Structure 1
Amino acid sequence: MELTTGAILRRITQTPLSAAAHKLATIILDGIAWKDGYNGLERGTAAFTLGSLADKMGVPRQHLNLLLAELASSALGLFRSKPHGKFAPWLFRFGAVDNLEPEPNHVSATDDTSLSSESKNKMMFVGKIEIRAVSNVHRTPWGDLIKAAKTALPCWNVDTQVIWDAFRSFNQARGNAEVPAGYLLGFMRKWRAKPNQATAGEIRGAAGHNPTPQETEIIDMIKAAPITNRHFHASDLCRAIGSAAYAGRVLAISAQYGCSTFTATLVVHGQAVLEGEITR
């Protein structure tokens, strides 16, 4: 039997579970990919961090683990794995419903198959991408797709704008003015940047373009404040100088170097570390 939203939802409602576990199962169902490649996932798989699931459920992490254990031991057979490293999202599947038996007395209505039939729920990396058209990814149709697809890919913790800048630079270095949209997903799947290399300037260098003096200056400042600690650095610096001053610095750096807000934020953090305003 072909998996559908309605079929799995019926199995969820027919399975004896606590009310909270039923809610968690439907949240996971809502995130399932119904087409191979959607969100960078295999068909039938959903990706979440435990923190995001706890927030959606409104429960502590300890309670969430109990609910996940309940689903795992139930007839749904929920199982999870983390194949992309410690800090990547967990991948979830309803193992017991991957091979559902036919249900002759229950015919799925049209709305049961909405997730697998509507184009908005499929990976829409189709068409052509003009490499030199727009530098701001959020002014293109590709921004939301990159954000959705990267959740289970090696670049899951890299800013969407940085991925876009890297992709454009990679193709510009090869003289490509236009490429199939599928190349973007392939580029994300092969991402190999280290945490402190996740800037447009460094990726340009890796793609065959020697960094300019300005790019080198940006890289050196960013290295003083590793990307993995950026949230702590932001909080520390806001406490030290105030939120308004912090936002002003980011805007000033973005205007000075012509870089994305994400890159400018890392530069501000690096400058603050170098000047002793915050610690590394």
Structure 2
Amino acid sequence: MTLTTGAILRRITEANLSASCHKLATIILDGIAWKDGYNGLTRGTAAFTLAHLAEKMGVSRQHLTALLAELADSSLALVRWKPNGKYAPWLFRFGEVEGDRSEDVASATGDTSLSEDSKHKTIFSGRIEIGGQTNIYRTPWADLIRHAKSSLPCWNVDIQAIWDRFIAFNMARGNTAVPAGFLLGFMRRWRTSPVAAPGPTETRRTQCEPDPVEQKLQRLIQAAPSKNREFHASELGRRIGQASYEARVFAMVRKFGCLRFAATLAVHGQAVIAGEITR
């Protein structure tokens, strides 16, 4: 039997639950993905933080925990787990109901139309040109990242920051174009992908031993104009050409392993030192 929204909704109405639990179950049902890959989830799962659920329910976190326990012990057999780290959302799934059920639990074909519509699936298809558009909002990937990250370790990271790190990651490896699926994989491995793990002989620097690379970056940033960053970016872009300006920014990202914002300030500071722009 293929479960659908209607089938689970009938299970919720038939279950012996408190009114609050009925509401909570309906909220979780509303977030379930019915196609693999939709919002970065596997079929039949939903993703929420407990804070978000408590806010939608209008209850305290303690009361929410009690309601989730009631759903877990009920015939709905709600299960939840957190595979993507401490700060990632919880994943939820309604379990199978024991015993035989009437045939009307399986929804008719018309009930599954929304689930079968491909426009409801988050699809990372095609290829991404590395070094092309730097503004994520001018690409077709912004909405896909926004939807997919909700259940991934980068759920609370700005989508422009995700895009900048992805581009920097591939440029550092000499990639000019990659399959779009690489972007989803990069987001799933967010904690380990952007920064290489230290080798066995590497040790952490103490406060008495500052990182010279970090110090150099900070000196460039301090030399940058502190106001009107957009104006200075336009001025430098007109002076050296927009393509050269973007190349400098990406060179800074590769050199220091920083985000685009810091790299931009470093480029501006370098231009001030070289006399190309003034503070």
TM-score between the two structures when normalised by the length of structure 2: 0.66
Deviation of 1:29 after TM superposition, in Å, equals 1.0
8 Å contact kept, 1:154–1:191: yes
Deviation of 1:220 after TM superposition, in Å, equals 8.6
8 Å contact kept, 1:78–1:96: no
- Equivalent position SS for 1:141: coil
Q: State the one-letter code of the partner of 1:180.
A: P
What is the aligned partner in structure 2 of residue 57 from structure 1? 57
Deviation of 1:166 after TM superposition, in Å, equals 1.3
What is the aligned partner in structure 1 of residue 217 from structure 2? 216
Give the distance between the partners of 2:77 and 2:231, measured in 1 at CA. Answer: 52
Deviation of 1:112 after TM superposition, in Å, equals 2.1
What is the aligned partner in structure 2 of residue 147 from structure 1? 146
Unmatched 5+ stretches in structure 2: 197-212, 234-245, 250-258, 265-279
Give the distance between the partners of 2:217 and 2:15, measured in 1 at CA. Answer: 58
Deviation of 1:147 after TM superposition, in Å, equals 2.1
Deviation of 1:38 after TM superposition, in Å, equals 2.6
Give the distance between the partners of 1:31 and 1:163, measured in 2 at CA. Answer: 23
Q: State the one-letter code of the partner of 1:216.
A: L
Q: What are the equivalent positions in structure 2 for 1:201-212 lying under 5 Å apart?
A: 203=194
Deviation of 1:33 after TM superposition, in Å, equals 1.9
Q: State the one-letter code of the partner of 1:8.
A: I
Give the distance between the partners of 2:99 and 2:72, measured in 1 at CA. Answer: 17
What is the aligned partner in structure 1 of residue 274 from structure 2? none
Q: What are the equivalent positions in structure 2 for 1:1-280 lying under 5 Å apart?
A: 1-97=1-97, 103-105=102-104, 108-193=107-192, 203=194, 216-217=217-218, 252=228
8 Å contact kept, 1:253–1:264: no
What fraction of aligned residue pairs are identical, expressed as a percent? 61
Q: State the one-letter code of the partner of 2:217.
A: T
Deviation of 1:177 after TM superposition, in Å, equals 3.2
User: Higher mean Cα deviation, 6-15 or 171-180?
Assistant: 171-180
Structure 2 CA distance for partners of 1:107 and 1:189, relative to 1, 3 Å: closer
Deviation of 1:61 after TM superposition, in Å, equals 1.9
Deviation of 1:27 after TM superposition, in Å, equals 1.0
Unmatched 5+ stretches in structure 1: 195-202, 207-211, 222-248, 268-280
Give the distance between the partners of 1:103 and 1:127, measured in 2 at CA. Answer: 44
Deviation of 1:3 after TM superposition, in Å, equals 1.9
Structure 2 CA distance for partners of 1:170 and 1:77, relative to 1, 3 Å: same
Give the distance between the partners of 1:254 and 1:101, measured in 2 at CA. Answer: 65
8 Å contact kept, 2:32–2:46: yes
Aligned length: 224
Give the distance between the partners of 2:229 and 2:215, measured in 1 at CA. Answer: 12
Deviation of 1:83 after TM superposition, in Å, equals 2.5
What is the aligned partner in structure 1 of residue 268 from structure 2? none
Give the distance between the partners of 1:187 and 1:24, measured in 2 at CA. Answer: 32
Q: State the one-letter code of the partner of 1:48.
A: F
Structure 2 CA distance for partners of 1:34 and 1:105, relative to 1, 3 Å: closer
Give the distance between the partners of 1:111 and 1:154, measured in 2 at CA. Answer: 36
Q: State the one-letter code of the partner of 2:87.
A: F
8 Å contact kept, 2:164–2:260: no
Structure 2 CA distance for partners of 1:129 and 1:100, relative to 1, 3 Å: farther
Q: State the one-letter code of the partner of 2:119.
A: K
Q: State the one-letter code of the partner of 2:61.
A: R
8 Å contact kept, 2:2–2:106: no
TM-score between the two structures when normalised by the length of structure 1: 0.66
Structure 2 CA distance for partners of 1:156 and 1:100, relative to 1, 3 Å: farther
User: Higher mean Cα deviation, 140-149 or 104-113?
Assistant: 104-113
Give the distance between the partners of 1:100 and 1:139, measured in 2 at CA. Answer: 52
Q: State the one-letter code of the partner of 1:33.
A: A
